[in-house]
Chain A
Amino acid sequence: MAVTHDVPPQLDDLVATAHRIREAIESVIEGKGDVVRLTLTVLLAEGHLLIEDVPGVGKTMLAKALARSIDCPVRRVQFTPDLLPSDITGVSAYNQQTREFEFKPGPVFANIVVGDEINRASPKTQSALLECMEEHQVTVDGTTYRLDAPFMVIATQNPIEMEGTYPLPEAQRDRFTARIAMGYPEPAAELEMLDVHGAASPIDKLAPVATTAEVRALIEAVRAVYVSQAIKKYAIDLVTATRHSPELRLGASPRSTLQLVRAARAHAALSGRDYVIPDDLQALCVPVLAHRLLPSVEAQGQRRLPEQVIADLVRRVPVPEAQAR
């Protein structure tokens, strides 16, 4: 054995807990291991997830399964054009008995908030949610209410329907740590889904496999994952590359660098490592960065998606070890 090293005990717990959650979710969503893993990564990175795909591929199911498998308050908001900001944050109502205004918390006061079809709501409502996402707090009538940790918004979005939707502007998309597409399931997975989902929805049988406290501990453990200078520099190199690429009209923001590294920490922890390696960053570059970028006119003309551009950049930017040579 050439190399021996001990994984910190905390990480062992983390890997075990994460494994339990993954198994729980995957019992509901078949054949989407990557998506589940990324969802967990975002949860542990204290980020928010934007799931973008056509209807019926299990976006809401994923969000609900995650919420179910953690024993924590989950609220689901169906966004519609007439939804008001107060419908999300909550309202102050006058209590005639106490003769005082009382705050009625909205659905955002939960650990996991599932925002279905977020692009259907008016920009005003969208921005109300986005403020909560960024600040982890809600301000109503001058009073600020803190949101419990963990706090994660899983928003879904339907890219096909354009009628009567308000697509998220770049600035708001930037708040989401990652965007994923579910994609259609494999035929085998779909067959299994038919077998399992035929009689009853398995999500009803899903029992929580982790507590809020456990998840909080996991997040703490992820924060302790080591990021070397070389890795930080590599992350900056990657992000900088998007800013200089002629195929992109808008590069990634400094916030995205932060979230990339944070997600990489979670990714490393989920792999049982207490340090980040370039592979973590490479694996996360597309989901973390792609939705923040705007392709240039030329790239659009060539039907190049930001995902492809980023994949190319990742192939071009040298890893720290290669730089050292």
Chain B
Amino acid sequence: MADLANPQSDDAPLDTSKRSAAPADAAGRLPEGQGDSFANATVTIGKPVAEVFAHFRDFANLPGFMENVVRIDVLDRQRSHWVVKAPGGGTVEWDARVTDEAENAFIAWTSEEGADVPNSGRVDFRDAGQRGTVVSATILYDPPAGIVGKIVAKMFQREPKIQARRDLTRFKQLLETGEIATPAMNPKQFEEMGL
């Protein structure tokens, strides 16, 4: 049997790795990465990379397609304050800071000291020519025990990968069609159902 602790030898995304060292490798690729669990999701959006990047980089846009994010206050170019839904109608909050970025290429962030749910991650944007832009999100987090663990579970719904995929799907729908698909029969129901 191959030694899965060895450095990666193929080109597959890290979150598909069977090696035990994969989360550490993922954290190592992030400036100020924190968290020992990680999730990844990738989607192709049929719009030019500049448009896709610009929409995402304006963090105030994110609650428009991220289901559990109630509000993001943009404090300055690097810092933002996140308010995220928690069980029982409450919220959890943290400050996030952009640790590195390159226009039309990637954005990396980490949460600041005192975050209810410490996390970090990066979103990569790659020009895919006629097909538009490939967007790949990597999220690292520490799944804490107890009540906060439940909050994390709720925040990411079933599992972080599914939640990230759903959020990126809505991002794609919004940019490609101008709206987010919903079976709601009226605006009030749409609001109640959430995104």
Do the two chains bind? no
Interface positions of A (Cβ within 8 A of B): none
